[in-house]
Amino acid sequence: MENMGDWEQRNLIYELTQGRELAKQLQLHLNVPSSSQETMESLLQRIQGSYEKALSILKWNTSVAMEVQTAGLATRMVEAPLSPRSGSPRSEDSDRDNKDPEMKDNPKKRRTLPTPRWTQLVPVTPGTPLEVPLDDGFTWRKYGQKDILGAKHPRGYYRCAHRNAQGCLATKQVQRSDEDPLIFEITYHGSHTCTQAVSPSQIPPSSSQENQNQDANLINQQQSLNNLPMNLQKELRVVTEDLDVIPQQQAYASFPDFPPTSNVTTAFSSSMMGKFSPSFISPAESGTNYFPMSATGIHGVQENLNVQSSGPLITDTISAATSTTNSLTAGLGFPFGNIEFEDPNFTFNDPRFFS
């Protein structure tokens, strides 16, 4: 839509800049004998990811919709297909609340991007322990569940656990796929503005052992996440194929379908952050990404993604996240931090937005 908007442009610049910075890091590692192969490969992948994303942005701007150029499951644009609107932000709420009366009267003002919205299909991989839900690095709180017409499974509604404390308006909806019960469609609305949205790289060194582990998790997570959409597509099929074996209960004990819920529920989810998604998908639209993930690790993609450590680490991360661990940050490379708020991530509850 329209030409390269400010947001896209900044995103593009960010990606390119990041690619450059990562390349520098890689160079440094090359000079350090002790650097692990793994680390360098990760860097390399991130670099590639940045360029991929940059290209995606460019492609997006040249062709209207970003179509999936990658084989198989792709990252595909879906014209805001999901729930067109929402109900009611009667109170403070909500991400997409563009229904400010003023908005209606002045559709003009609305030319700005709607709340970022994108969907990920998150398969579950085998061997997932019962109460180890997926974690996307954010802490979520479930606030509702609804049976959806035509859907076999109910849809769960989650909001950022920091909504009250930090006014973070990010929400997500989780729904088990009809066709493949082992796939969850996770739709994110809005971007995190809470501290968890901070990119791992911005996290100050942590002191505790625990935190260090988490940092490691995050880094790995970030790395994998940054690359996932682009690099993973091919692998996904493999991953999904493996899925049919596992009892779903094991995958998501906390999912709506499974009453025996644990407090872990909120943490369940996919692995892609909202922040970063817009990098390859216009935030103005919604997109769908297919994402393999499992609580025990993304076995299916490990080798290819070079995120081996994600397995165990993610598990740790999850347990941490489950119990309201705030130290988890997973901004996953969201580009512009606060700057972003001006644009796509920006939610519509900021007065500045309408004036």
> For residues 254 and 169, what is the distance between their CA atoms, to the nearest angstrom?
22
Nearer to DNA, 55 or 148 (CB): 148
Span from 1-9, 69-77, 90-98, 178-186 in contact with DNA (CB under 7 A): 90-98
Closest distance to DNA from the beta carbon of 326 (Å): 10
Nearer to DNA, 27 or 164 (CB): 164
Which of 124, 183, 198 shows the shortest CA–CA distance to 153?
A: 183
Asked whether position 117 contacts DNA by CB under 7 A, the answer is no
Contact 246, 303 (CB under 8 A): no
Distances (CA, A) of 111 to 3, 42, 95, 125: 13, 39, 17, 41
Q: Could you tell me how far CA 240 lies from the centroid of its own chain?
A: 19
Interface with DNA (CB under 7 A), residue total 45
Closest distance to DNA from the beta carbon of 251 (Å): 15
Query: Across the chain, where does the E strand assignment appear?
Result: 76-78, 117-123, 140-146, 155-160, 171-176, 183-189, 286-290
In order, the DSSP letters of 299-328 are HHHHHHHT-TTHHHHHHHHHHHHHTT--S-
Closest distance to DNA from the beta carbon of 216 (Å): 24
Nearer to DNA, 53 or 159 (CB): 159
Pairing relation of β-strands 117-123 and 155-160?
unpaired
For residue 133, what are its two tokens? 């839900």
Among 92, 102, 210, 244, binds DNA (CB under 7 A): 92
Nearer to DNA, 16 or 80 (CB): 80
Asked whether position 83 contacts DNA by CB under 7 A, the answer is yes
Among 7, 14, 118, 157, binds DNA (CB under 7 A): 157
Asked whether position 171 contacts DNA by CB under 7 A, the answer is yes
Binding residues among 260-299 for DNA as defined by CB under 7 A: 260-266
- Which residues contact DNA by CB under 7 A? 82-96, 99, 141-150, 155-157, 159, 161, 171, 173, 189, 254, 256, 259-266, 324
